[in-house]
Amino acid sequence: MLAIFVKRVLMAIPVLLAVATMTFFLIKLAPGGPFDAEKAVSPQVLKNLNAVYNLDASQWVQYTDYMTGVVQGDFGPSFKYPGRSVTEMISSGLPITFELAMYAILIALVIGILSGVLAALKRNTMLDFIPMAIAMIGICVPTFLMGPLLVLIFGIQLELLPVAGWGQLSGDKILPSITLGFAYAAYIARLSRGGMLEVLNQDFIRTARAKGLTERMVVIKHAMQGGLIPVVSFLGPAIAGLLAGSFVVETIFQIPGLGRFYVEAALNRDYTMILGTTIFFSAMIVFFNLLSDLASLWLNPRSRDV
């Protein structure tokens, strides 16, 4: 177990290095310099600007300087917001995005697992059909449509909830969290239903029932541990999806999180900000994938020796 753990962690390092390197040189390929938008500046000023931002050094020196900075948590200055560093912007947006993602995952896990397990136990009844039909809607309606529709219904027509913001008006965290969590609730409901159905037919469940355990014990202690492994392995990739979802949700609800910063940086061509956030996002995704891999290894002893 420890050997696998170490191996997976060691495999993540070259991946991250490759991503950072690729992104760095891709950004260098982008047409135009960072100061093209400024009014015509004299060659002397341009030279000083380039010196301040380390752009007069050779590509290799720029690369090694940048990477040394990244390892120490310094992503350099932002090109579009003079005086602000990329690290500052990431650390101001991250807590908000993290909170949003946590609520969304929580909603997805609670609703998804409850309805999925229930659907599996009450197979081919209304308790199975209705949640699964709703889940199908959740999978087919994209986040960028679900969000505005929820705003239209609950914010504008019914005037129940605020339509934008984060932490300013009471209840303004509800709609963004539901918007982001809904699609994942749908996936998790389908995965946990499928996983439970598979496990419920197995011999050890029959043994548990034959022992005279209550149905509640059988489901919670025996069936769910195996039946929910697909959900655990789904959570890693889901983090990557949540990130993309946060781009949309934070744009719709005007939330000052990391996702919105990223989209703005992309629209404004703030190259250093894009570079920094891309590396940061990649590190997070690799980390969460690793975590969910290890969790499913731990839950499923049979896959350990692969």
What sign does the CA torsion over 146, 148, 152, 158 have?
Answer: positive
Q: Which residues between 196 and 225 bind other proteins (CB under 8 A)?
A: none
Task: Give the per-residue contact string, 155-194, with other proteins (x = CB under 8 A; - = no).
Answer: -x--------------------------------------
Among 41, 45, 145, 160, binds other proteins (CB under 8 A): 145
| Closest to other proteins by CB, 12 or 114 | 12
Instruction: Tell me if 13 contacts other proteins by CB under 8 A.
Output: no
Instruction: Tell me if 234 contacts other proteins by CB under 8 A.
Output: no
Which of 179, 47, 36, 164 has the alpha carbon at shortest distance from 100?
179
CA dist 306 and 291 (Å) reads 17
| Closest to other proteins by CB, 147 or 181 | 147
Q: What are residue 77's phi and psi, to 5 degrees?
A: -80, 160
CA dist 169 and 68 (Å) reads 42
Instruction: Tell me if 61 contacts other proteins by CB under 8 A.
Output: no
Contacts of residue 237, defined as CB under 8 A and 6 or more positions apart, other chains included, come to 289, 292
The number of CA neighbours under 13 Å toward the Cβ of 227 is 31
**Site for other proteins, rule CB under 8 A:** 12, 15, 18-19, 23, 26-27, 29-31, 136, 139-142, 144-145, 148-149, 151-152, 156, 240, 243-244, 247-248, 251-252, 262-263, 266-267, 269, 274, 278, 281-282, 285-286, 289
